[in-house]
Chains A and B, each alone.
Chain A
């Protein structure tokens, strides 16, 4: 699917705010509302229990630890990036780190970037360790149980419709501004 890009959203938001208080908020709310059904589909696809026993812990990367494993939010971001000109305007975020890891597991080249880690602080000194095969085993197990790559396949066919719908919302509000100016 070719990437669709909209222009000058920031200018539109500014004009909307100047036109009538609350219009800007309404645009954001309407745009996000389109992403919400997609978010709930993704939510339903995320396993409720840890897919692998090792993920069931209370540590930083435990399944559902800190952030709920099925925490999915829709975001509207009009701010610019310092590094790229094209950035997401409306997006759906899967927030839990371990859920994200399980989803993207096996999507890479499976090539070891390094044989040994960089040096890092450990207890009173510094150390480095060999890169193990833990990751490969995790990917293999997830693939066996068909518990990886669950986000995109679930919503792929809805993205294009959502895109069109959001563009219509933006056009609707742009028309309001144009009418006022005209």
Chain B
């Protein structure tokens, strides 16, 4: 135990990156057996696994051939040897593809699979314990086993007086490979081995598939003939393909014409496209409001609030949706929306959830032009209006013009005065 006072720290995430790589491998393997990845990703992993298995099979084949020829290995011992390589690779974090050539080399010298395995283990221990290159250590050990200890002594001069260099090395470095194994390399390695195992399942299927499609009259043959026919304008398929090419050229021109049709005033495709987008946006807003309102109605119905259900059903789609979004009653929402319209000086005026005026008819700021149309104020009073030469004429139905004046006066009280040019005939009460 010690107390450590840090003076300056450094950032080096290479170890963490290795771990992330390992977890990526885990995700891939899990995906390969159908957990958590899409179909394309699964297919990619299966192909990758099959590739790894194919490379692995090649390396195993080479090693087995050498062990059979040089060390007289039987089928049983080859099987056992495979397991030995796999477990050694898992324990030490060294790739099995790197272990096999060394084992084959030791098999050559020792003429015995078990002895070769012992030497391989020793070479890994010595490499881990001394930091020297594994290939160099393996070569020196192989020579030393055959009686030539010169290169081994060159590497470890202390063995000069040793009577049994290999035994002394075993004593010195035994277990070093396991003790120094990098956990992240071991993790990556185990993921690779899993991938190879998965690939071993897929590889026969791929081999069968390839055999199948490449036989005479198979898929490759047929598809090849089809492509030849497509390239030849004299064939039926070739002619059809030529027509398709022309159609594709026309599509671009047709789109421009289509968008121009959407703006009949200027026949301009850009304005037409803008109109199209605006229409699309309005439609989406309407649909969103409708769904929101419907959800509110269902909620009210299931919670037994029939009054709210009827209010929402009878109101405009936009008002109903707003009432749901604001979690307010329809009446309160109408009051709030009308107050906002008066505040902004422009917008909709609603009466019991129903729109009674369009934006042009209710403008409390700016200069209105043309016919103001007709509508009903919140208090139930109807109105119609018109503008001529900066004069605004508002006819209030029900012979009560005071209702309009009252409404505007209320607005002035809370929001300040109205522009005099807009309503020259109306005076504050």
Binding site for B on A (CB under 8 A): 3-10, 31, 34-35, 38, 42, 78, 80-97, 99-101, 103-104, 151-152, 155, 159, 162-163, 166-167
Contacts and interface: CB of A to CB of B under 8 A. Distances in A.
Q: For the complex, would chain A's binding face be called helix, strand, loop or mixed by DSSP majority?
A: mixed
A45 B16 CA distance: 38
B10 A100 contact: no
A99 B4 CA distance: 12
A42 B4 CA distance: 11
Contacts of A7: 10-11
Contacts of B16: 84-85
A101 B3 CA distance: 8
A123 B112 CA distance: 45
A152 B4 CA distance: 10
A169 B182 CA distance: 32
A159 B184 CA distance: 34
B9 A86 contact: yes
Given A38-B7, A86-B10, 16 more contacts: A3-B9, A4-B9, A5-B10, A31-B8, A87-B9, A88-B7, A88-B10, A89-B8, A89-B9, A91-B6, A94-B3, A101-B1, A104-B3, A152-B5, A162-B8, A167-B8
A5 B184 CA distance: 24
B254 interface: no
A95 B3 CA distance: 7
Top-7 shortest CB links A-B: A85-B13, A94-B3, A89-B10, A92-B5, A80-B12, A90-B7, A88-B6
A163 B184 contact: no
B14 interface: yes
Contacts of A85: 11-13, 15-16
Contacts of A80: 12, 14-15
Contacts of B3: 93-94, 99-100, 103-104, 151
A167 B9 CA distance: 10
Contact of A83 (B7, B8, B10, B15): B15
Contact of B7 (A34, A86, A94, A104): A34
A92 to B, nearest CB: 4
A95 B1 CA distance: 7
Contact of B10 (A9, A93, A101): A9
Contact of B9 (A5, A35, A97, A104): A5
A88 B4 contact: yes
A159 B9 contact: no
A6 B11 CA distance: 6
10 contacts: A4-B8, A4-B9, A82-B15, A85-B12, A85-B13, A86-B9, A88-B7, A91-B4, A92-B4, A100-B1
B2 interface: yes
Contacts of A97: 1-2
Contacts of A152: 5
A38 B183 contact: no
